[in-house]
Amino acid sequence: ELPTRALVHLLRLRRANLEIVEATIPEGARVVGREIREIRLPPESIILMVVRGGVPIVPTGVTALQPGDEVISLTKSDQERDLRDALLE
């Protein structure tokens, strides 16, 4: 069964076992209103950019996520599910 909310793969770095993925933050997600530093991301995962209203933002730890934010992240391939759960549940 496919998850109703999924990560979009933008780039796979096979030799490094890394993925650059995008997720759109849904209404009601646990991360809405929380600063990035408060979000428990999987180890070796990082939020690279937030696109809000079409404007790219280089996030800091105090950047708070909002519904509709497009979040671009770097993660280990085997941690994708954990990253999806952290951002989209």
* pLDDT at residue 10, as a whole number: 94
CATH number of 8-88: 3.30.70.1450
**C-alpha separations of 43 from 4, 40, 57, 74 in Å:** 24, 9, 22, 11
Q: Where are the domains of the chain?
A: 8-88
* pLDDT at residue 6, as a whole number: 83
10-residue mean pLDDT series, the chain (89 residues): 70 94 95 97 97 98 97 96 95
- Give the bridge partners for 86, in sequence order: none
